[in-house]
Amino acid sequence: MKYYEGKITVQNYKEVTLDSLNNGNCKTVFRFFVPYHLLLDPDQIYEIKMPATQNVHLLQAISRIANTAEITHKLYGIEFEDRFRKEALFTQAGDRFGHGGLTRIQITYNRHQNIFDKENQPNEKSIEKAVEKCCEIFNYFLDRYAAVTKHRQLNKISRFDIHTIEIDYFDKISNEKLISTQVTAMHGATLMGVMVSAPPKVNDRLRELLLSPESNLDSIAVNAIRSVFSGDYLNGIVQAVTQLEAFLYMVFNEEFKIKGINNSEGKLKSLGLANLLDMLPLVLANEKYQEIEANCDIKKIRRAVTIRNDFIHKAENNEPISSFEQAEEFVDAITVFCIYISRLYGNKHMMDEAYSGWN
């Protein structure tokens, strides 16, 4: 399913070519909702200088709005009708942190962020990249906002949190609007008058997991992908590698027990994850490792380990993850690996689709 299923409207204010937009004299302005109140006055404009760049971007909270039925429709880009006015979907009652409200954000990106193809038509992949750039700037702001204001319970955002967005292009010198674009994204949402429940088999699996005596290692996988959906891509990868580490220790401990090797825990921790991955074919039976090798992307897992190690041990981010897909691929590669490890020892990993009940 396409990311943007809704309407894309483009209003050309004057004849503009892509070459003229990309000549260095164009800036991009994003306007969108975030799903919570921010403690920002609408007249305040904040300058943002991202790492490793000389460009200064601007962020402003245009408005803060109580989350009523009307604004919920606006969030999803749906035409509001008067008959909905009495149907408040959310209220402010008991909402200490403003999650029942929305903040409309404007980001002025001091560069041209193209969303058009060679025929001057909106391009889906380019729109996704533009929204990712928008999220990157907002999340950079949000970390510093949370530290200073103590408003720390707010999550970062990914492009799946942005349902409608206006992307306008302005001349840097004259500030003349060149092109105005509105993108409405539905993310596959279904609007209906009834609630939907999980099928019986899924409920059965949920009940089984809730009473399972197995360890909680699998929960790390859920936290990892949850971080990715929250726009915290690097943290998602770090958590996924933490899951990988736990499962590798489990493999080596189990295999060492079979071979009569004791007191292995300290030795394992001194080897490091990259070495444990190298040694995996040596401790697993040939057919077991062949199954893992055939179904898992070991190369991508190694890259995830490197990203995590550089960040944890060196405070470096040498392979910046700038899109949802990049982060999801790393996290999924590790989760699939851990699922196959679980199967080797007769366990049902929480994220294993074979037991989810959806199939």
Cα–Cα distance measured from residue 246 to residue 38, given in angstroms and rounded to the nearest whole number: 38
Burial 303-327 (b: 16+ CB within 10 A, else e): bbbebbbebeeeeeeebebebbebb
Using CA atoms, how far apart are residues 87 and 102, in angstroms rounded to an integer?
Answer: 17
Going along 144-276, which residue ranges are E strands? 164-171, 177-184
What is the pLDDT at residue 256? 83
Whole-angstrom distance, CA of residue 254 vs CA of residue 261: 10
Specify the amino acid at residue 40.
L
pLDDT at 93: 41
- Give the strands of the sheet with 177-184, arranged side by side: 8-12, 177-184, 164-171, 26-34, 101-109, 56-66, 45-49
Distance between CA atoms of residues 250 and 248, nearest Å: 5
Place of tokens 């991955």: 277
Instruction: Identify the three-state secondary structure at position 32.
Output: strand
Give CA separation, 12 vs 16, 17, 25, 114, 293, in Å.
8, 11, 17, 15, 52
**DSSP classification of residue 93:** T
Please report, as a single letter, which amino acid is at residue 125.
K
310 to each of 33, 231, 303, how far by Cα in Å? 34, 20, 11
Q: How far apart (Å, rounded) are the C-alpha atoms in residues 83 and 80? A: 9
pTM: 0.74
DSSP 8-state secondary structure symbol assigned to residue 21 = H
Return the closest-CA partner of residue 72 out of 101, 99, 105, 106.
Answer: 101
pLDDT at 98: 54
**What does DSSP assign to residue 84?**
G
Q: Which amino acid is at 341?
A: I
Burial (0-12, 13-18, 19+ Cβ within 10 Å), 177: middle
How would you write the pLDDT of the chain (359 residues) with one tens digit per residue?
344 544 555 655 555 555 556 667 889 999 998 888 888 888 889 999 887 777 889 999 998 876 555 666 666 666 666 655 544 444 334 444 555 678 899 999 998 898 888 877 788 888 889 999 999 999 999 999 988 887 777 888 888 888 888 999 998 888 888 888 888 765 544 444 445 567 888 888 888 887 776 666 788 888 899 899 888 999 999 999 999 998 998 888 888 888 777 766 667 777 788 888 988 998 888 888 999 999 999 999 999 999 998 888 888 877 888 888 999 999 999 999 999 999 998 888 988 888 887 76
Cα–Cα distance, 109 to 56 (Å, whole number): 8
Question: How high is the pLDDT of residue 292?
Answer: 92
- Rounded CA-CA distance 60/46 in Å is 6
Q: Do residues 34 and 102 touch, judged by C-beta distance below 8 A?
A: yes
For the chain, the domains span: 8-184, 200-355
